[in-house]
Structure 1
Amino acid sequence: MADAETPIKPPHTGKRHLPGDRRPDTRAMIRVDQAGETGAARIYAGQLAVMGGRHAMAGEIRHMAHQEQRHLDGMNTVMARRGVRPTVFGPFWHVAGFALGAGTALLGPKAAMACTEAVETVIDEHYGEQTEALADGSDPELKAMIDDYRADEVEHREAAAAHTGGGAFPVLESIIRAGCRTAIAVAKRI
């Protein structure tokens, strides 16, 4: 029997814990955020492939795409530095994101913006949950990134809503939001 002075070691789980990984869910947060930023970058790539420079919204979409690429680059860096494995569904998100962006752009600029509004609504909620969880100070680097990226996502959502009037395609937006929530749940685990 151990005396009160001897610390009890937790059982070895086989998982590596790197600097900053002070929470059991940090790796899942990084994995899902990297997957989401991959999907977002691909959505904007799909929209731009269809809309090109011909449409008045192309410049705004290009600006959003640059911000999403910055987010993706940041998450890729943190993922590599901390040794977090990506989701096995990465190739699927790559293709599905592009298809979603291109498909909604084919329906027209307002549908593309409705897609952005739906996606960014879910991402804002998701990042909000993460920033609350990280408010305990357990991972200030990750929290700062999430807060920064979240501000951009809110900006994207508001810009999209300004073009659609908000809720312009309720069925499409509902399906996209449900798909995003499913993708988040899957990427956390697999």
Structure 2
Amino acid sequence: MNVMTASADPRIDIAPLLARIAGLLGDLRSDHAGETGAVMIYRGILAGSADPAIRAFATEHLATEAGHLRLLEAMLAPGQRSILLPIWRVAGFLTGWLPAIAGPRAVYATIEAVETFVDHHYEEQIVKLGRTGEEGALRRLLETCQGEEVHHRDEAAAALGTAPRGALLRAWAFVVGSGSAAAVAAARRI
């Protein structure tokens, strides 16, 4: 379900915000890198799975993530983006492809882990922003993206159901969450 709203205006002038809000460029750079990785996760899932339900899930979510990426690309000049994007593309693809070849539960556990991290990542940024002017516009855009990521997480969690998650699935989810945190830390700086 792609619910990106027209109120999420990609023409936000971030220049005055960058001068006023410490760390904002790093935050937005990490968001852009993360959405780049997310697009590649879903492409990896599509490359690795023939399961019709997984392919439908991935296709729908890929469209949403591609929309998020377009919004961030409209705000950030190429020189403001992470130089590590080639690494995020490969890592994202493998993060989708490996679980796709392992099966649906691995895919859903991956998405649940990634989107849990992303929810918290966006929240850390949202609370720093005011509600009016360009700050408010950026806040609303990030809230929209966050809401859609939470929707992805909740869909994946529902698909996983209440069946116990084995040690391997829990370990993989830990690796995915930790890897996401490390990627954000690197993208904020580089």
TM-score interval for Structure 1 and Structure 2 normalised by the shorter chain: 0.7 to 0.9
8 Å CA contact 1:31–1:84 kept in 2: the answer is: no
| CA positional deviation for 1:84 | 5.4
User: What displacement does 1:24 show?
Assistant: 2.1
**Structure of higher CA gyration radius:** 1
Q: Structure 1 or 2: larger helix share?
A: 2
Amino acid at match of 1:19: P
Q: Distance in 2 between matches of 1:44 and 1:143?
A: 26
Per-residue Cα deviation, 1:52-87 (whole angstroms, up to 9, x for no partner): 4x422321221111000000010011102xx75111
Question: Is the 1:30–1:84 Cα contact (8 Å) retained in structure 2?
Answer: no
Contact 1:34 / 1:86 at 8 angstroms: preserved in 2?
yes
The match for 1:116 among 95, 99, 111 is: 111
Q: Name 1:176's counterpart in structure 2.
A: 176
**Deviation per residue, 1:122-154 (Å, 9 max, x gap):** 000000111111146572232111100000000
Unmatched segments (≥5 aa) in structure 2: 1-13
Partner of 1:105: 100
User: More relative contact order in 1 or in 2 (CA 8 Å, sep 6+)?
Assistant: 2
Partner residue in 2 for 1:20: 17
**Whole-Å separation in 2 of the counterparts to 1:118 and 1:107:** 16
Could you tell me the TM-score, scaled by structure 2's length? Answer: 0.84
Please list, as runs of the form range in 1=range in 2, the aligned pairs for 1:14-163 lying within 5 A after superposition.
18-21=15-18, 22-52=20-50, 54-80=51-77, 85-135=80-130, 137=132, 139-163=135-159
**Cα 1:136–1:84, aligned 2, differ >3 Å: closer, same or farther?**
farther
Q: Distance in 2 between matches of 1:136 and 1:24?
A: 17
How far apart are the structure 2 equivalents of 1:59 and 1:136?
36
- Report the AA paired with residue 188 of structure 2: K
- Using the alignment, how far apart are the partners of 1:62 and 1:154 within structure 2? 17
Assess if the C-alpha contact under 8 Å between 2:46 and 2:59 holds in 1.
yes
User: How many corresponding residue pairs?
Assistant: 171
Q: What is the match of residue 7 of structure 2?
A: none
Looking at structure 2, the residues matched to 99 and 76 of structure 1 have their Cα atoms a distance apart, in angstroms, of: 23
- Report if the CA contact (8 A) 1:119-1:177 is conserved: yes
User: What is the one-letter code of the residue matched to 2:124?
Assistant: E
Structure 1 stretches of 4+ moved >6 Å = none
* DSSP-derived class of the 2:178 partner: helix
- Tell me the TM-score normalized by structure 1: 0.84
**Residues 1:165 and 2:156 aligned together:** no
Query: What residue identity is the alignment partner of 2:146?
Result: R
Cα RMSD for the two superposed structures: 1.8
- 1:119–1:180 CA contact under 8 A, matched in 2: yes
Amino-acid identity (%)? 34
Corresponding position of 1:188: 188
Q: Is the 8 A contact 2:131 2:139 kept in 1?
A: no
2:128 counterpart SS class: helix
Instruction: State the Cα deviation string for residues 87-120 of structure 1 (Å, max 9, x = none).
Output: 1211000111001100111110110111000000
